[in-house]
Amino acid sequence: MTNPAEAIARRPGTLGEHYRHVRATTVDLIRDLQPEDTVVQTMPDVSPTKWHLAHVTWFFECFVLKTHQPGYRVFDDAFHYLFNSYYNTAGTMHPRARRGELSRPTLLAILDYRQHVDNAMQELLASDLASDEINELVRLGLHHEQQHQELLLTDIKHVLSRSPLQPSARRDLEQPAGASPGAYTFSPGATGIVAVGADDSGFCFDNETPRHDALLHPHAMGNRLVTNGEYREFINSGAYKDPQLWLSDGWATINERGWNRPLYWDEALETEFTLAGRAEIDEHAPVCHISYYEADAFARWSGCRLPTEFEWEHAAAALAVEGNLLGSNAWHPAAANGASQYFGDVWEWTASAYAPYPGFRPLDGSLGEYNGKFMCNQMTVRGGSCVTVDDHIRASYRSFFYPDARWQFLGLRLTKYGHV
C-alpha cells in the first residue's frame, strides 16, 4: 500500500517540477496502449483516451496561457471546439456522446499538442509573470488532470472489456493479495455536532467548502468494505428478483437493463474483467462496479444502510490518508488485510445527495462551472479508488455520480442506526 505522505515527500518541490511530474504521469499511464485503443468510445459516459490527453491540455491553454501568457500561439484553433468539455461560458463544444467519432486529430498530433503547451507552461512558470493567481490556476489544472488520470483508466477499462480479446491495459500490474478480511463488525460513530468540509491546510475544490457544522445521529460504521464473496451471497439469495429490496428507480433500472450482477462479472459469477485482463473473482476483495441502487439494495438486504457523507467524513478524518491507490500499481481493489479501507480500493456510495454546503460559492468565471452546476440528481461518493492518485485524495474530497453509474470503481461500506 502506498503512503501518500511519502509520495508527497518524493514529489518535486517547485510548481514547475510538479507540473512536469503530473503531465509525465498521464502519458506514462498509456505506455502499453496501442494508438487504436485510444480512439474508441464504448458508451456516452466513456471518453476516448486521446480525448482525455487533449482535454487536460486544452484546460491549461484555455484558462492559463491564452489569458496570462503574452504572445502565446494557439496550437490549433479547432481544438477549442473539439476538447472543451462542459464549459459553456468558454464556447461551444463537440457533443460528449460523439467523441469517438474524432479519428482526427491523431494520437501523435495530440502528443505534439501536449508538448507545445508544456513548453509554454514551463516558460510561464519560470518567468516573472507567475503570480499567485496564475499559480492557483495551475494547481487547479493539475488536480483536474489527476482527476482525468483516473477517468482515463476507468474509461479504457470499459473499452478493453468490450474486446473479445480481453486485453490488459498494462503489462506490469501487481497482483493484489487475497487474504480473508475477517468478520464484518461495527464501531460506534460520533454523535452530535461536528465540523465537516475542507479546512485551510491545502488545496481543495470549491465543492468541499465552506467548512461548516453537521449533526450526526447515533450510528455505527462498518469496519471495512463489502467483499465480492458477500455480494455473491446477495445475488444467490435472489435479491435481484425481490422488489422489496429496491428503490423504485432502482427496480425499474435493473429490469430495463437486465442487470443481475456487477459490471464486468461473467454469468457464472466466477471471473471479472480487470485492467490486467480477465481474472478469477477474489471473494475477499471489495466488490466494485455497482450502482447506487445496487449498493442501497445490498445494505437493505443486510439489515443496514449506507452512511451519510458526513458520517463517512468524520470517521475518515481521524485516519492517515493511505491505502490501495494508484501508486500501489495494482489498479484493482484488494482484500482488507486488517485495513479499514477508507481510502483507495473503491469509491464508497453514501446516502447523501450531491448538494451545496451552506454558504457555498462557486469559483468566479468559467471555472465556476467545474462543480456547482452538477449539484442535482447525483449521489456523493467518498474515499477514492485503486486508480486515484495517491496525493490527490483527502477526507473532505467529494465526488459524485448519477445513481445508475457503474463503470467507475464504485462499492460500499455498511452503516447501522443507533449504537452497537
User: Does pLDDT of 205 surpass 60?
Assistant: yes
Q: Is 392 exposed, middle or buried (0-12, 13-18, 19+ CB in 10 A)?
A: buried
Predicted local confidence at residue 275, as pLDDT: 98
- pLDDT, the chain, mean: 94
Predicted local confidence at residue 12, as pLDDT: 52
Percentage of the chain with pLDDT > 90?
89
Cα dihedral angle (333, 341, 262, 147), rounded to 10 degrees?
-70
E strands, 217-336, where?
219-222, 271-274, 277-280
60: left (phi over 0), alpha (psi -120 to 50) or beta: alpha
Cell of 352: 447523501
CA distance 206 to 354: 13
Per-residue pLDDT tens over the stretch 102-161: 999 999 999 999 999 999 999 999 998 889 999 999 999 999 999 999 999 999 999 999
Predicted local confidence at residue 247, as pLDDT: 98
Predicted local confidence at residue 176, as pLDDT: 81
User: Which whole number is the average pLDDT over 34-53?
Assistant: 98
Nearest Cα residue to 210 out of 193, 195, 192: 195
Please list the residues that pair with 172 across neighbouring strands.
none
Predicted local confidence at residue 1, as pLDDT: 47
Q: Judge if the upstream peptide bond of residue 105 is cis by omega within 30 degrees of 0.
A: yes
Judge whether 348 and 382 are in contact, CB under 8 Å.
Answer: yes
3-18 as b/e: b if 16+ CB within 10 A: ebeebeeeeeeebbeb
Per-residue pLDDT tens over the stretch 382-398: 999 999 999 999 999 99
Per-residue pLDDT tens over the stretch 226-235: 999 999 999 9
Q: How many other β-carbons are positioned within 10 Å of the β-carbon of residue 150?
A: 24
Predicted local confidence at residue 2, as pLDDT: 46
Q: For residue 2, which phi and psi values (nearest 5 degrees)? A: -90, 140
pTM of the full predicted structure? 0.95
Provide, for the chain, the percentages of residues in helix, strand and coil under a 3-state DSSP scheme, each rounded to the nearest 5. Answer: 40, 10, 45
Distances (CA, A) of 96 to 44, 80, 381: 7, 14, 23
- CATH code for residues 186-417: 3.90.1580.10
Q: Is 218 exposed, middle or buried (0-12, 13-18, 19+ CB in 10 A)?
A: middle
Q: How many other β-carbons are positioned within 10 Å of the β-carbon of residue 368?
A: 15
Which CATH number, 3.40.50, 1.10.3470, 3.40.630, 1.20.120, labels domain 4-161? 1.20.120
DSSP 140-187: HHHHHHHHHHHHHHHHHHHHHHTSTT---S-SS-------------EE
CA distance 387 to 304: 28
Per-residue pLDDT tens over the stretch 49-77: 999 999 999 999 999 999 999 999 999 99
Predicted local confidence at residue 210, as pLDDT: 97
Contacts for 361 with CB less than 8 Å, ≥ 6 apart: 206
User: Does pLDDT of 9 surpass 50?
Assistant: no
CA distance 394 to 192: 23
CA distance 281 to 352: 30
pLDDT band of 366, cuts 50, 70, 90: confident
3-state secondary structure at position 192: strand
Judge whether 349 and 412 are in contact, CB under 8 Å.
Answer: yes
Contacts for 51 with CB less than 8 Å, ≥ 6 apart: 83, 99, 102
Q: Judge if the upstream peptide bond of residue 210 is cis by omega within 30 degrees of 0.
A: yes
Q: For residue 404, which phi and psi values (nearest 5 degrees)? A: -95, 5
Contacts for 333 with CB less than 8 Å, ≥ 6 apart: 176, 225, 285, 286, 288, 324, 345, 346, 385, 386, 409, 411
Per-residue pLDDT tens over the stretch 303-329: 999 999 999 999 999 999 999 999 999
User: Which whole number is the average pLDDT over 337-360?
Assistant: 96
Q: DSSP label at 64?
A: I
Predicted local confidence at residue 8, as pLDDT: 37
What residue spans define the domains of the chain?
Answer: 4-161, 186-417
